[in-house]
Amino acid sequence: MRAESVVRTETKYLITTNKKIELIKELKRVLEEDSFGKQGYYSVRSVYFDKPNFQDFMDKVRSIPVRKAIRLRIYTPYDKTVKLELKLKNYDSQEKISLKVDREDAVELLKKNYEVLKRYKTDLSKLFYILLVEGDYRPTTTITYDRKAFTCKKSKSRVTIDSNLQFSNENFDIYKEKMELNTILGINEHILEVKIENNSDLSSINEILYPLEIEDAPSSKYKRCCNYLTVR
């Protein structure tokens, strides 16, 4: 399976429904609706892995400038391939490395059977195997949400708006059509993310954000959902 890698910076915002409606209207003027999904709308399901002491989560809570996260990601319960992703945070820069694995192997990974990674015989699959086995990683949090996405091929920028954020720290069966999950964002709360590559020009996007008085805020979906791990 082919590996994918992208390096970018991300800025996150917490916005209201009214701001979301205004923003989508304005973004349609300067960006393209993502070709993935229907008119840029699609769902996301991810399972995050962590060590027994939740080190990756605690690194994020403590704002450690160099940290990582490992997750499995699908878009529908019927996906035949899955993205096993490693997110590497290095101060303001973030790299996302993805390895596509078969559905059957993803199911095994959720059971902590990391031996299936040896089938892929790539440097990236070896790296994932070492990280997961030596760190004694296990599934810790499922996160799902609905996404509206825009892209700009010229500036290599991407804008996403996520709604209906739900999670579970016990249910990792992302292939089940209807999962029992906890809602963590209110109906009037949405997470806006602006993602850029190679210091791209964001002037057209900023011209939209400034009049709407949208200010960046700590809005990590992973951090919000994992906060409940400490009270179990």
pLDDT tens digits, 143-185? 999 999 998 877 778 899 999 999 999 999 999 999 999 999 8
Q: What is the pLDDT of residues 84-131, one digit of tens each?
A: 999 999 988 899 999 999 999 999 999 999 999 999 999 999 999 999
* 195 φ, ψ (degrees, to nearest 5): -120, 125
Task: Determine the structural domain holding residue 217 and report its residue range.
Answer: 3-231
For the domain that residue 134 is a member of, what is the CATH number? Answer: 3.20.100.30
Is the per-residue pLDDT at 200 higher than 80? no
pLDDT of residue 232: 42
- Give the integer Cα–Cα distance in Å for 179 and 168: 9
- Is the pLDDT at 80 greater than 80? The verdict is yes
- What pTM value is reported for the model? 0.90
Instruction: Kindly tell me the burial class for residue 50, based on how many C-beta atoms sit within 10 Å of its own C-beta (0-12, 13-18, 19 or more).
Output: buried
Q: What is the pLDDT of residue 89?
A: 92
Distance between CA atoms of 177 and 180, rounded to whole angstroms? Answer: 10
Q: Which two tokens stand for residue 201?
A: 């020009």
Q: Which helix (H) or strand (E) holds 65?
A: none
Domain count, the chain: 1
User: Residue 231 above 60 pLDDT?
Assistant: no
Averaged pLDDT score across all residues of the chain: 89
pLDDT value at position 197? Answer: 80
